[in-house]
Amino acid sequence: MALFLLALLNRPARADDDAVPGIQDVLAMAEDMRKTGAPGNCRQLLIPIAGMVSEAQRSDYLYLRGFCAELAWDAADARDDYVEVIARNKEHVTEARFRLALVLEDLGDGHGALQQMVILHKNEGWDVDDGIAVNLESAIAQVAAGHRRVGLKNLDTALVVAQSWNKHSWLRAKARYVQIDQALADAEKAKVRGTGSHEAKVVKLRVAALADAQQAMLPLIADNEPEWILRGLYRLGTAYETLGDELVAARAPASLTAAQQVIYRQQVSAQRDKLRVDASHVYDQGVQLSLRVQFESPWVGRMEVERDRIRSTLAAGG
């Protein structure tokens, strides 16, 4: 790689080319790597030329470096590059704002993401294709910024349009994941703290939410976007585990005798184990999917850890 890069940089410049010799070739190669799913290689290729890029090529370079950092799950580096592209106010400003909103969400800055989308929404002349993408991401950013009610309503509307469109499957899948995550989060607000008729209703609500989430995974899976399928499976698995842990931690009925308490705890532990098995199965589905489609993401590692931990715990009778 280093020798090939050196050869590119030593190529003579064309008479009408004011750029540094060979840099445009390196940028083109890095862009090909980004498109073919090799963001790590893209970043490695761009590092040596950081100080050689001409002023005319600077925005192209920064946007590409940020994009590759984003795809390599390095949201902080991507954010910094996108911010610099926007500050330069030359090429790629609109695209950089959109992608900056995405990485700010990943970094937990929903308000910053929404701010970028509000600016983009003021742009005029969006075609139908771009308008669908902007509407989807704007609604997602609203949810991330804490404006759940209006955000989810706008997300429903944006999805109605987007689901009949032959593009934006990644954003569609992301939107569906947000719907699943928010529905589970709403159900999880009702905690299982004891027993009795109220707690029975809470458990029924939580179980129904899990069933609904499983059903909602079907259109997400149909979008065929591994990143969001994996995130959806991880979220579903954690919801199973959370319910099981709450059942075990809940107060036992005060009327039970000591012997009945033992039986009660055994029954609750069995319920938790069943939920753990369900979670382990979901995690394993995610791990197997990642192997099958050769897709790496942080959630794959988390699912592997959780799956193996559950299996070890159940094998040890814990």
Tens of pLDDT, residues 143-181: 999 999 999 999 999 999 998 888 889 999 999 999 999
What is the extent of the structural domain holding 278? 176-318
Q: Is residue 106 part of a domain?
A: no
pLDDT at 9 over 90: no
Mean pLDDT of the chain: 90
Q: Any residues with CB less than 8 A from the CB of 208 and at least 6 apart, and which?
A: 187
Q: Is residue 214 part of a domain?
A: yes
For residue 77, the model assigns a pLDDT of: 97
Q: d(Cα 281, Cα 258) in Å, to the nearest integer?
A: 35
Q: Is residue 13 part of a domain?
A: no
pLDDT at 1 over 60: no
What sign does the dihedral 71-219-158-205 (CA atoms) show?
A: negative
Q: Which helix (H) or strand (E) holds 298?
A: helix 298-315
Q: Is residue 286 part of a domain?
A: yes
Say how many domains are in the chain. Answer: 1
Q: Is residue 206 part of a domain?
A: yes
Q: Is residue 113 part of a domain?
A: no
Q: Is residue 124 part of a domain?
A: no
Q: Is residue 169 part of a domain?
A: no
Q: How confident is the model at residue 197 (pLDDT cuts 50, 70, 90)?
A: confident
Burial of 120 from C-beta contacts in 10 A (0-12 / 13-18 / 19+):
buried
